[in-house]
Amino acid sequence: MLDAMARKTADDDPLAPVTLAVGQEELLLDRAVQEVVAAARAADSDTDVRDLTPEQVQPGTLAELTSPSLFAERKVVVVRNAQDLSADTVKDVKAYLAAPAEEITLVLLHAGGAKGKGLLDAARKAGAREVACPKMTKPADRLAFVRAEFRTAGRSATPEACQALVDAIGSDLRELASAVAQLAADVEGTIDEAVVGRYYTGRAEASSFTVADRAVEGRAAEALEALRWSLATGVAPVLITSALAQGVRAIGKLSSARGGRPADLARELGMPPWKIDRVRQQMRGWTPDGVAVALRAVAEADAGVKGGGDDPEYALEKAVVTIARAARSRGRAQ
Per-residue pLDDT of 57-104, as tens digits, reads 999 999 999 887 656 678 999 999 999 999 999 999 999 999 999 889
Q: What is the mean pLDDT of residues 150-177?
A: 87
Task: State whether 256 and 196 are in the same domain.
Answer: no
**141, 5 in Cβ contact below 8 A?**
yes
pLDDT in tens, 177-192: 988 988 998 889 999 9
∠ at Cα 105 (117, 41), nearest 5°?
Answer: 140
Q: Mark whether 181 and 108 lie in a shared domain.
A: no
CA Rg value for the chain = 22
Amino acid residing at 267: R
Domain at 245, CATH number = 1.20.272.10
Over residues 227-237, mean pLDDT: 81
The total number of structural domains that make up the chain: 3
Residues 219, 298, single domain; the answer is yes
165 & 58 share domain = no
- 263 lies in some domain: yes
Q: Which residues pair with 21 in a beta bridge?
A: 109, 131
| Host domain of residue 236 | 208-327
Band the pLDDT of 259: cuts 50, 70, 90: low
Compare 280 and 299 and report the one with higher pLDDT. 299
Q: In the structure, what pLDDT confidence band is assigned to residue 297 with cuts at 50, 70 and 90? A: very high
Q: Closest by alpha carbon to 123, among 113, 114, 110?
A: 110
Dist CA 258 CA 262 (whole Å): 11
Mean predicted confidence (pLDDT) in 184-207: 76
Supply the pLDDT for residue 10: 40
Residue 119 has pLDDT above 50, yes or no: yes
CB of 60 within 8 A of CB of 171? no
Q: Give the mean model confidence (pLDDT) for residues 24-51.
A: 92
Question: Does 53 share its domain with 100?
Answer: yes
pLDDT > 50? residue 271: yes
219/307 same-domain check: yes
Asked if the structure places residue 4 within a domain, the reply is: no
Rounded to whole angstroms, the Cα distance separating 159 from 50 reads 41
Does the structure show a pLDDT above 70 at 258? no
The whole-number pLDDT of residue 22 equals 97
CA distance 265 to 296: 26
Give the HSE-up count for residue 190: Cα atoms under 13 Å, Cβ half-sphere: 9
pTM: 0.58
The reported pLDDT for the residue numbered 334 is 43
Statement: residue 238 has pLDDT above 90: no
Query: Which CATH number belongs to the domain containing residue 186 in this structure?
Result: 1.10.8
DSSP for 130-144, please give it: EEE-----SHHHHHH
Cα–Cα distances in Å, from 65 out to 32, 55, 95? Answer: 21, 15, 14
Residue 4 reports pLDDT greater than 60: no
- Report, as an integer, the average pLDDT of 26-37: 93
Question: Final residue of a domain: which of 104, 133, 162?
Answer: 133
Domain annotation covers residue 6: no
